[in-house]
Amino acid sequence: MGKKMNSMIQKITGIFFCLWACVSFAQDDYTLSPGDEVSITVFGEPDLSMSVKLDAKGVINFPLLGAVNAQGLSVSDLEGTITRELTGAYLVNPDVRVSVAEYREVFVNGEVNSPGGFAYKPGLTLDKAIALAGGFSEKASKERIILTRVINGVSQQFSMRSTDAVLPGDIISVSEYLQIFVSGEVQRPGNYPYQSGLTLEKTIALAGGFTGRASKRRIEVSRDIDGQQQQGRIRMRDPVYPGDTINVPEGFF
């Protein structure tokens, strides 16, 4: 029951995440933050038409009005604010239009070849963002990608799929794949990526199988349990966990 409930919650969260990403990106409703650049047009007033970037505090400097706080405002909100402030004091019936000239960057970090900030373009998806960052590194786990996004002023995290939408200001973190270590009497000792549901039998297969000298009944695992490294025997159908070190000793013949 617990697994089914968790699966249902994950599905609902994923659906909400996709709907939120698609619906909330209508430009008029787009929430402005530092790094965004807006284009402001006051029709018939060329001296008041300009492009300006929000500073680190989310403020823009606008002729006649001075400092205008745009942080957290939607594009349409900022348009309304400028219109109200100009009306009466400076202009009789100003016709103001605001649009996003350049969105704030998307950041990709972790196991990619060229981590950093990248210009956002509408239609950006996870796979396109990874491509901008030079693709996955050799150590990247394509199943452990976390997106951090601010929604209504609260930073939230989501697991991502390759086709999921990316929005301005998103932070994408690509984790290193989880590893297991196999040593001793196997054909290909070394490190291997962890996979969900992995057993000792499957781990030995990843390592090419036993050598002719292997002792199949005295295989040991070294595992971190509550910060303490512990050792013990392991059988072929036993589960294997991330970070485990499997040692296959030589048999006595």
| pLDDT tens per residue across span 192-231 | 988 888 999 999 999 999 999 999 989 999 998 887 888 9
What span, in angstroms and rounded, lies between the C-alpha atoms of 139 and 136?
8
Given a contact cutoff of 8 angstroms between Cβ atoms, the answer to whether 208 and 248 are in contact is: no
Claim to verify: residue 58 and residue 97 sit in the same structural domain: yes
What pLDDT, on the 0 to 100 scale, is given for residue 23?
A: 40
End residue of a domain, out of 124, 152, 176: 176
| 170: in domain | yes
Position 235 pLDDT exceeds 50: yes
Position 39 pLDDT exceeds 60: yes
Claim to verify: residue 138 and residue 198 sit in the same structural domain: no
Residue 214, SS3 per DSSP: strand
Claim to verify: residue 209 and residue 244 sit in the same structural domain: yes
| 155: in domain | yes
pLDDT single digits (tens) 97-109 = 999 999 999 999 9
| 2: in domain | no
Claim to verify: residue 145 and residue 95 sit in the same structural domain: no
| 31-49 average pLDDT score | 94
| Continuous H helices in 28-166 | 75-86, 126-132
Residue 77, SS3 per DSSP: helix
What pLDDT, on the 0 to 100 scale, is given for residue 17?
A: 46
CA angle 88, 91, 92 (to 5 degrees): 70
Structurally, the chain folds into a number of domains equal to 3
| 42: in domain | yes
Given a contact cutoff of 8 angstroms between Cβ atoms, the answer to whether 114 and 84 are in contact is: no
Task: Output the pTM of the full model.
Answer: 0.68
Claim to verify: residue 241 and residue 218 sit in the same structural domain: yes
What span, in angstroms and rounded, lies between the C-alpha atoms of 86 and 64?
8
Given a contact cutoff of 8 angstroms between Cβ atoms, the answer to whether 239 and 202 are in contact is: no
User: For residue 63, what is the domain's CATH number?
Assistant: 3.30.1950.10
Domain that holds residue 78: 31-102
What pLDDT, on the 0 to 100 scale, is given for residue 145?
A: 92
Q: Which of 9-18, 68-77, 231-240 has the lowest mean pLDDT?
A: 9-18
The length of the chain in residues reads 253
What pLDDT, on the 0 to 100 scale, is given for residue 89?
A: 85
End residue of a domain, out of 78, 102, 126: 102
Claim to verify: residue 43 and residue 73 sit in the same structural domain: yes
| 135: in domain | yes
What pLDDT, on the 0 to 100 scale, is given for residue 141?
A: 85
End residue of a domain, out of 159, 176, 193: 176
Given a contact cutoff of 8 angstroms between Cβ atoms, the answer to whether 25 and 167 are in contact is: yes
User: For residue 161, what is the domain's CATH number?
Assistant: 3.10.560.10
Considering only residues 152 and 120, tell me which one the structure prediction assigns the higher pLDDT: 120
Claim to verify: residue 169 and residue 117 sit in the same structural domain: yes
Given a contact cutoff of 8 angstroms between Cβ atoms, the answer to whether 193 and 141 are in contact is: yes
| 92: in domain | yes
**If pLDDT is split at 50, 70 and 90, which confidence band does 170 have?**
very high
End-to-end, the C-alpha distance of the chain in Å comes to 49
Range 31-34, long-range pairs (CB < 8 A, 24+ positions): 31/72, 31/73, 31/74, 32/58, 32/70, 32/71, 32/72, 32/73, 32/74, 32/75, 32/78, 32/100, 33/58, 33/71, 33/72, 33/104, 33/150, 33/168, 33/169, 34/58, 34/71, 34/104
Claim to verify: residue 90 and residue 113 sit in the same structural domain: no
Position 34 pLDDT exceeds 50: yes
| 74: in domain | yes
**If pLDDT is split at 50, 70 and 90, which confidence band does 8 have?**
very low
**If pLDDT is split at 50, 70 and 90, which confidence band does 143 have?**
confident
